[in-house]
Amino acid sequence: MSFTDLFIRRPVLASVVSFLILLAGIQAGLKLQLRQFPQLTSATITITTLYPGANAELIKGFITTPIAQAVASAEGIDTLVTNSQQNTSTITLNLLLNANADRTVADVLAKVNQVKYLLPREAFDPVVVKQTGDSTAVLYMSFTSKVLTPSQITDYLNRVVQPRLQTIDGVANAQILGGQTFAMRIWLNPDRMAARGVTPADVSMALAANNFTTAAGEIKGDFVQTSINAETSLDSARAFGQLVVAAHGDAMIRLSDIADIELPLPPSMG
């Protein structure tokens, strides 16, 4: 007896099987995706390293080149593009189509950690960021004001505008380009420094030794425990001006003697 004889002698079974095949075909047809182009995934990995005060040649020789040589052999990389400019080193890794981006990121992080000891001590740790899809910005927005200074505009964008933009559906990331970070501004005067025999290194060491954040600890008793708050950071232009940067005998040279200090006021919180 052949296989087809079973369905000839049992027409009901044949009808049921045909109906099940029809249902399976209809369900497959409804779930079938129609696309003009095949689905492809692309990703970009960016390695950014900051070295404040360094020129482009120094950035290229001591940061960009060691990191680029280390990550060039990572799995899944198609092209590698480097950019060295004042204060910043940027390495962009374009991955192969449909490459496993998570595996490549892990490989890149491991290779970056292998060469961290070669980087200058003053340089910041490299930041590795993965972007899926097209890394080109969709929209650029500029902000200007007749009332606020550039530092105040940047502070307002960080606190108000950027968080709102990043919560919009479809927005992957909102970056601030060209902003001026709100911070104490210390403008050193070369003539006054030379007259008093003070170098920029003296100022840097004085700032590092006197303006820092620390946990002082706590005091414990039999029934009382009190935390100690040590005010070790400077928060006003006058406090920075009283900072002693050098001493020649009994004469103390303060920061206000060799520099102009200002703190741009932030915009209103309202």
Q: Same structural domain for residues 13 and 98? A: no
pLDDT band at 67 (very low <50, low <70, confident <90, very high): very high
| Mean pLDDT, rounded, for 86-104 | 88
Measured between alpha carbons, how far is 197 from 253 in angstroms, rounded to an integer?
A: 10
Q: Which helix (H) or strand (E) holds 105?
A: helix 101-114
pLDDT cut 90: percent of the chain above it: 20
Note whether residue 196 is domain-resident.
Answer: yes
Residues 23 and 71 in one domain: no
Which residue type sits at 203?
Answer: V
Backbone angles phi, psi at 51, to 5 degrees: -140, 90
Rg (the chain; Cα; Å): 31
Same-domain pairing of 49 and 126:
yes
* C-beta atoms surrounding 43 within 10 Å: 22
> Domain with 250 in it: what CATH number?
3.30.2090.10
What's the average model confidence in pLDDT over 193-206? 89
Give the residue, 10 or 157, on which the prediction is more confident.
Answer: 157
| Residues 53 and 25 both lie in one domain | no
Per cent of the chain over pLDDT 70 is: 90
230 with 252, same domain: the answer is yes
State yes or no: pLDDT of 269 exceeds 70: no
Looking at per-residue confidence, does 65 or 172 come out higher?
65
The answer to whether residue 145 is domain-embedded is: no
Number of separate domains in the chain: 3
pLDDT for position 82: 93
In sequence order, the 6+-apart residues with CB closer than 8 A to the CB of 269 are: none
The closest alpha carbon to 257, from 194, 185, 183, belongs to: 194
Stretch 17-43: mean pLDDT:
81
Max avg pLDDT among 143-147, 212-216, 262-266: 143-147
**CA 215-221-226 angle, 5° bins:** 35
Residue 103 lies in a domain: yes
**What are the tokens at 185?**
């501004």
Whether residue 197 is found in the same domain as residue 237: yes
Is residue 95 a part of any domain in this protein?
A: yes
Domain range for 10 is 1-32
At residue 265, the pLDDT reads 59
Give the largest Cα separation in the chain, rounded: 118
Q: Is the pLDDT of residue 202 over 70?
A: yes
CATH code for the domain of 92: 3.30.70.1430
In this predicted structure, the answer to whether residue 267 has a pLDDT above a threshold of 60 is: no
- What's the pLDDT tens digit per position in 109-167? 999 999 998 898 888 999 998 887 655 667 888 888 888 888 888 888 888 888 888 88
Give the integer Cα–Cα distance in Å for 86 and 55: 5
